[in-house]
Amino acid sequence: MLTKIIRLDPLNFSIKQLQEAIDLIRNDEIVAFPTETVYGLGGSAFSETAVRKIYEAKGRPSDNPMIVHISDLEMLSSIVNVIPENIRKLCERFWPGPLTILFEKSEKIPDIVTAGLNTVAVRMPSHPVALAFIKELGIPLAAPSANLSSRPSPTKAEHVFNDLQGKIPLIIDSGSCNVGVESTVIDVHKGHSVVLRPGGVNLEDLKCYLPKVEIFNNKNKELSDEFKPPTPGLKYRHYSPKAEIILIEGSIKFLEEKIVSLHFKYRTQKKRIGILHTHKNFQIPSDIINDPKCKMIYLGLRDSNIDSDDSINADKIAEGLFSSLREVDNQNIDLVIVEGISEKKIGLAVMNRLRKAASKIIKE
Ligand code: AMP
Ligand code: MG
pLDDT, tens digit, 9 for 90 and up, residues 186-213:
999 877 999 999 999 999 999 999 999 9
Q: Give the number of whichever ligand sits closest to the CA of residue 142.
A: 1
- Give me the pLDDT at residue 203, please: 96
Pocket perturbation via mutation, ligand 1, pick of 150, 231, 237 by most ligand atoms within 8 A of CB: 231
Residues with CB under 6 A from ligand 1: 64-65, 67, 102, 114, 117, 119-121, 144-145, 182, 185, 196-197, 230-233
Lowest-confidence pick of 152-156, 209-213, 287-291: 287-291
Question: For residue 234, how far is its CA from the centre of ligand 1 (angstroms)?
Answer: 9
pTM of the entire predicted model: 0.94
Cα 130 from Cα 39, distance rounded (Å): 10
pLDDT at 304 exceeding the cut of 70: no
4-223 in CATH: which number? Answer: 3.90.870.10
The percent of residues in the chain predicted with pLDDT above 70, rounded, is 91
Q: How many CB atoms lie within 10 A of CB 299?
A: 23
Q: Give the number of whichever ligand sits closest to the CA of residue 200.
A: 1
Domain ranges of the chain: 4-223, 244-363
Q: Give the number of whichever ligand sits closest to the CA of residue 187.
A: 1
Pocket perturbation via mutation, ligand 1, pick of 54, 179, 185, 321 by most ligand atoms within 8 A of CB: 185
Nearest CA owner, ligand 1 atom 11? 233
Question: For residue 356, how far is its CA from the centre of ligand 2 (angstroms)?
Answer: 12
- Give me the pLDDT at residue 230, please: 53
Residue 263 CB contacts under 8 Å (≥ 6 apart), including other chains = 273, 288, 291, 294, 337
pLDDT band at 305 (very low <50, low <70, confident <90, very high): low
Sign of CA dihedral 267, 360, 147, 198: negative
- Give me the pLDDT at residue 228, please: 45
- Give me the pLDDT at residue 128, please: 98
- Give me the pLDDT at residue 92, please: 96
Nearest ligand 1 atom to alpha carbon 114? 19
- Give me the pLDDT at residue 223, please: 46
Q: Near ion ligand 2, which residues have CB within 5 Å? A: 145
Pick the CATH number of 244-363 from 3.20.20.20, 3.10.450.50, 3.40.50.11030, 3.40.50.150: 3.40.50.11030
Distances (CA, A) of 227 to 104, 105, 158, 184, 223: 15, 18, 40, 18, 6
